Chain A
Amino acid sequence: MKIGLVLEQLHRDENDLAQQLLKISERHRVDHEIFHLGRDLAAWSQQHVREIAAIASRYGQDLDPRPREDNTLLEKLREKGSDLLGRDADAGLLLLRDLREVYIKACGVSADWELVAQAAQGIKHTDLLDVAQHCHAQNLRQMKWANGKLKESATQILVG
């Protein structure tokens, strides 16, 4: 059974997504909705990390239940950078890149959860299926958020 390997990958990918959401939040602090939602949605992925770790032991994986920590000094530097970038239209291009990155990472996580859900159904593990279903539902909302923000921001940044 290779479910453990998929869970290990998913654990890493959810951690990455949380990091990316925190990064976009800090870097674009002057875009207040990005700042606040980035943090809120990172918390979802961090919760998923805890839930994956809790259930992964049943599949032979010893995963860290604590979400990976960011370098706080780096955070502060980025925040400072954000304040400086606030009056610069080119910051918009960076925002589009960062949103695209969130979107792609969220898509990857989505594919991971689909794999887990399929496997859970195959072996009729309802606990694992429950985790997969509710985490995947939140993951799809993260994806739609990033996609929506991309669409909403693109025109002004690219032709404004």
Chain B
Amino acid sequence: MEGKCAAAAAVRAVFATGDELMGRIDRIAEPWGTRTPYPGGGTWPVRVDTHLAEGVSPQDVDRWVQTASILHSNGDAMDLAVKDNRIVGVRGRAGDRVNHGRLGPKDLYGWQANASPDRLTRPLVREGGKLVETDWETAMQRVVDRSKALLAEQGPSALGFYTTGQLFAEEYYTLGTIAHGGIGTNHVDGNTRLCTATAAEALKESFGCDGQPGSYTDVDHADVIALYGHNVAETQTVLWTRMLDRLAGPNPPAIICVDPRLTEVARAATVHLAPRPGTNVALMNGLLHELIANGWVDQDYIKAHTVGYQELEKEVAKYPPVLVAGITGVPAEKIQEAARILGHAERLLSTVLQGFYQSNQATAAAVQVNNVNIIRGMLGKPGCGILQMNGQPTAENTRECGADGDLAAFRNWSNDAHIQDLARVWNVDPMSIPHYSPPTHLMQMMRYAEDGSIRMLWVSGTNPAVSLPELPRIRSILEQERLFLVVQDIFLSETAQLADVVFPAATWGEKTGTFTNVDRTVHLSEKAVDPPGEARPDLDIFIDYARRMELKDKDGQPLIKWHDPESAFEAWKECTRGRPCDYTGISYAKLRGGSGIQWPCNEESPDGTERIYADGKFWAHPDYCENYGRDLVTGAPVEPTEYKALNPDGKAIIKAAEYVPPHELPSQDYPLQLITGRTLFHFHTRTKTARAPELQAAAPDVWVEVSAHDAGAHGLGEGDLAEVATPRGSVQAKVRIVGIRDGVVFLPFHYGYWDTPGGHHPDGAGRAANELTITDWDAASKQPIFKTAAARITRVRSGDGPASAPTNTASAPVGDFPGDARTRGIPSAMAFEDSPGGPGTGAPDDTATRQEGTL
């Protein structure tokens, strides 16, 4: 740690300008920036982070254009600096409720990818086995002709749409309307299936509906923050900054961290529980066992506002800490200590992410976190919240707009009245909206493409050839001659290289739209510059397709009645009227200039709603809820009549779950457990972040993390080249020895092949973590399991220095490590910090529940 502090001093300089403190700081070396401590119940001080291209000063900027982060899910509000019609930098928005001016490293540097010379600028079509440039007319007509031919020959079941968590609400709503209301296919999903499907499902199971019970301001008030499989320090750096500032101030919260890796969160935690991968449900049942056995529950709340408590009592009685210790490998005393903290919390904030969502029994585990807050009556009050986190910036919109297969505005596919209502909004026949079974989830769509019944797959803004499990299988599906693959993207990704038609899309900063973060904050993202070449906004592409497909409503009028972002937003608002995600009180004008606004926002709550589920009121009534839920183990949908009998009054639903071991356990041949995941300096498959020099230099190549014990057992040293193998394949990576749980190896999932000679597949040794992952998913949420596979590791050859993995994250080395190999930024990584009030001035605020939009 000393080396780290010395490095920090060297990369930081503070100087005063008038009455403001301004600092130059290397935000690669210090991803969370300078502390601005504040007390519990206080207001998080403003700190404005800025990064401009070299040689550009704030005075040179022609205009600042409002937007929010697109490279992670936190929803940090920012302005893009524009000079000579080029983006030249970013600055955090001081007045926004989410970030109070702060930005994370991916925000500060990632914008440079927009101007990469690799951008797709013309449509491509496959001719004689090769992708060649063409015009929009040719490319679009080819897709339309194929769509019409397949509809005539087979019907809507031949067409599938696979989108992303990075487009805008207007675009998802248009896509969902085209697929569900126009084409009539049930095969629509987003890559949110890989990151937030479990968040949505867990909320549906416990509260009958998607929508976060928590708010980021709960961090300001909580006395205990429990993070379950949530490496917030790397996935939402600014949210972690908020927590760090609480930890640095008076009356800091206790932190409980559940993670098999020694993350920055784990280092800061009061109690760190590092369970064996795949055993989260057992651990949660152990914690719930202690809460109930010690009477740390709110019986009045349970009686008044919940159903199902007795089943939970009965189930978790089977999980005393000693038994749980045997399953999870977490000492019983630690389970008891964590439970004691949870049990004595007065304001408990719980957050959950991929450590639970991408692991064995994802939904069952995430639901048990909900149960902790429910049985303690800690919902809908300052500091008492749940954040079932999102992995991607616009994932909430994928879910609410129906682009993840669910019906628009959280309508219930198994409630006929909801189908009729949606048919009214779209002016179509209810029978034309497919609702005979649950929407086809992505992994099932890949199966249908494999068996040849999905014959056209349109992929927008995502890269399944790197991000899906068991890549050899995925490539063999996408490469099939009989599958017509359409890819809409901004770069020639691994997936685009396999396409029959490639549409060049505009991206963030080149188009206008809105998106919503995990705590329901809606932001406007305005166009700052023109897209390169012939690239077009995704919205325009979808609308053009709908027009050429001649998709009509039941009166013969065009199905898509909007023509630009704002008219699409207005249509979306109408679709949400009266639903939980009510946008009717929001407009572009209202979003311009100020802070983001939290839905529901309507006539009743014109400034938005900071906390839902206050006073124990839920959206779970059988006539109103989004979903009747599923069996947490088998995934079988709960029948409407069953749900009505169980929960006639729409209370919170306490669902118990038994622990079921992972499907693939370590064996003699594969004695270790492999987990994969995301890390601080890259986003997804690096298509953007690898094109930002500061980020790429911080984490240039794949690495594998092992514990010191396992390194010793397998003869591995820091920086050695190792092969990690599972029954599916193998990957070679440099070894980093870290504080991870013994028996567990970690690979970041970002590294694919587009910047290697292989192009879209390995040319020699594999590099993508998903060469190794298993094809298996949570039966309830259908989220693939990336974090439970049996693996082995062997040394290939000794290294010539340390691995190039970051040293200031969960991949921090243990033991001796050369100081000059520690992570720091390249010269252009110097950014600015402005703390107008100076550090530590956040005064206690007695109007704690007010909206922060007035900041």
Known contacts A142-B634, A159-B157: does B660 contact A40 (CB below 8 Å)? yes
Contact residues, B653-671 vs A (CB, 8 A) = 660, 663
The interface bits of chain A over 131-160 (1 if a CB of B lies within 8 angstroms of the residue's CB, else 0) are 000000000011011011101101111011
Residue in contact with B447 in the complex, picked from A31, A142, A148, CB distance below 8 Å: A31
Closest to B158 in A: A160
Chain B residues, Cβ within 8 Å of A30: 447, 450
Categorize the interface residue count of chain A.
Answer: 20 to 34
Known contacts A86-B450, A86-B451, A87-B452: does B157 contact A145 (CB below 8 Å)? no
**How far apart are the CA atoms of A148 and B637 in the complex, in Å?**
7
By the criterion CB–CB under 8 Å, are A159 and B636 in contact?
A: no
Q: How far is the CB of A146 from chain B (nearest CB, A)?
A: 8
Q: Tell me if B443 is interfacial: C-beta within 8 Å of chain A.
A: yes
By the criterion CB–CB under 8 Å, are A87 and B634 in contact?
A: no
A-B CB contact pairs (8 Å), 19 listed: A30-B450, A32-B777, A33-B443, A33-B777, A39-B663, A40-B660, A40-B663, A41-B634, A86-B451, A89-B451, A141-B634, A144-B631, A145-B636, A148-B637, A155-B437, A156-B453, A157-B453, A159-B155, A160-B454
CB-CB nearest 6 A-B residue pairs: A160-B453, A148-B636, A145-B634, A144-B636, A160-B157, A145-B636
**How far apart are the CA atoms of A85 and B102 in the complex, in Å?**
54
Closest to A151 in B: B437
Q: Tell me if B801 is interfacial: C-beta within 8 Å of chain A.
A: no
Chain A residues, Cβ within 8 Å of B186: 155
By the criterion CB–CB under 8 Å, are A141 and B777 in contact?
A: no
Q: How far is the CB of A56 from chain B (nearest CB, A)?
A: 25
Chain A residues, Cβ within 8 Å of B447: 30-32
**How far apart are the CA atoms of A57 and B437 in the complex, in Å?**
45
Residue in contact with B635 in the complex, picked from A145, A155, A160, CB distance below 8 Å: A145
Residue in contact with B448 in the complex, picked from A36, A147, A156, CB distance below 8 Å: A156
**How far apart are the CA atoms of A91 and B450 in the complex, in Å?**
12
Contact residues, B411-465 vs A (CB, 8 A) = 436-438, 440, 443-444, 447-448, 450-454
Q: How far is the CB of B803 from chain A (nearest CB, A)?
A: 33
Q: How far is the CB of A83 from chain B (nearest CB, A)?
A: 11
Q: Tell me if A88 is interfacial: C-beta within 8 Å of chain B.
A: yes
Q: How far is the CB of B769 from chain A (nearest CB, A)?
A: 19
Q: Tell me if B154 is interfacial: C-beta within 8 Å of chain A.
A: yes
**How far apart are the CA atoms of A154 and B453 in the complex, in Å?**
13
Chain B residues, Cβ within 8 Å of A155: 157, 186, 436-437
**How far apart are the CA atoms of A156 and B450 in the complex, in Å?**
13
Residue in contact with B451 in the complex, picked from A33, A37, A87, CB distance below 8 Å: A87
Chain B residues, Cβ within 8 Å of A65: none
Chain A residues, Cβ within 8 Å of B452: 87-89
Chain A residues, Cβ within 8 Å of B633: 40, 141
Chain A residues, Cβ within 8 Å of B443: 32-33
Chain A residues, Cβ within 8 Å of B436: 151, 155
Of B437, B776, B779, chain A has the most CB atoms within 10 Å of the CB of B437
**How far apart are the CA atoms of A30 and B443 in the complex, in Å?**
12
Besides A148-B634, A160-B158, 5 other A-B contacts (C-beta < 8 A): A92-B453, A147-B636, A148-B635, A155-B436, A160-B454
**How far apart are the CA atoms of A129 and B176 in the complex, in Å?**
50
Known contacts A32-B443, A151-B437, A156-B157: does B635 contact A37 (CB below 8 Å)? yes
**How far apart are the CA atoms of A86 and B449 in the complex, in Å?**
11
Chain B residues, Cβ within 8 Å of A39: 663
By the criterion CB–CB under 8 Å, are B451 and A92 in contact?
A: yes
Q: How far is the CB of A42 from chain B (nearest CB, A)?
A: 12
Categorize the interface residue count of chain B.
Answer: 20 to 34
By the criterion CB–CB under 8 Å, are B154 and A160 in contact?
A: yes
Chain B residues, Cβ within 8 Å of A31: 447
**How far apart are the CA atoms of A89 and B663 in the complex, in Å?**
27
Chain B residues, Cβ within 8 Å of A88: 451-452
Contact residues, B143-170 vs A (CB, 8 A) = 154-155, 157-158
Chain B residues, Cβ within 8 Å of A37: 634-635, 779
Chain B residues, Cβ within 8 Å of A33: 443-444, 635, 777, 779
Q: Tell me if B602 is interfacial: C-beta within 8 Å of chain A.
A: no
Closest to B638 in A: A144
**How far apart are the CA atoms of A89 and B636 in the complex, in Å?**
24
Q: How far is the CB of A68 from chain B (nearest CB, A)?
A: 23
Q: Tell me if B270 is interfacial: C-beta within 8 Å of chain A.
A: no
Chain A residues, Cβ within 8 Å of B660: 40
By the criterion CB–CB under 8 Å, are B448 and A160 in contact?
A: yes
**How far apart are the CA atoms of A158 and B635 in the complex, in Å?**
22
Q: Tell me if B849 is interfacial: C-beta within 8 Å of chain A.
A: no
**How far apart are the CA atoms of A131 and B777 in the complex, in Å?**
31
Chain B residues, Cβ within 8 Å of A156: 157, 440, 448, 453
**How far apart are the CA atoms of A143 and B450 in the complex, in Å?**
28
Q: How far is the CB of A144 from chain B (nearest CB, A)?
A: 4
Q: Tell me if B775 is interfacial: C-beta within 8 Å of chain A.
A: yes
Closest to B438 in A: A152
Residue in contact with B631 in the complex, picked from A86, A87, A92, A145, CB distance below 8 Å: A145
Q: How far is the CB of B436 from chain A (nearest CB, A)?
A: 6
Q: How far is the CB of A69 from chain B (nearest CB, A)?
A: 21
By the criterion CB–CB under 8 Å, are A32 and B775 in contact?
A: yes
**How far apart are the CA atoms of A154 and B777 in the complex, in Å?**
21
**How far apart are the CA atoms of A152 and B157 in the complex, in Å?**
13
By the criterion CB–CB under 8 Å, are A144 and B158 in contact?
A: no
Closest to A144 in B: B636
By the criterion CB–CB under 8 Å, are A91 and B451 in contact?
A: yes
Closest to A95 in B: B451
Q: How far is the CB of A109 from chain B (nearest CB, A)?
A: 15
**How far apart are the CA atoms of A108 and B437 in the complex, in Å?**
25
Residue in contact with A36 in the complex, picked from B157, B454, B631, B776, CB distance below 8 Å: B776
Q: How far is the CB of B612 from chain A (nearest CB, A)?
A: 30
Chain B residues, Cβ within 8 Å of A86: 450-451
**How far apart are the CA atoms of A87 and B157 in the complex, in Å?**
17
By the criterion CB–CB under 8 Å, are B450 and A141 in contact?
A: no
**How far apart are the CA atoms of A36 and B438 in the complex, in Å?**
20
**How far apart are the CA atoms of A91 and B448 in the complex, in Å?**
12
Chain B residues, Cβ within 8 Å of A91: 451
Chain A residues, Cβ within 8 Å of B775: 32
Q: How far is the CB of A151 from chain B (nearest CB, A)?
A: 5
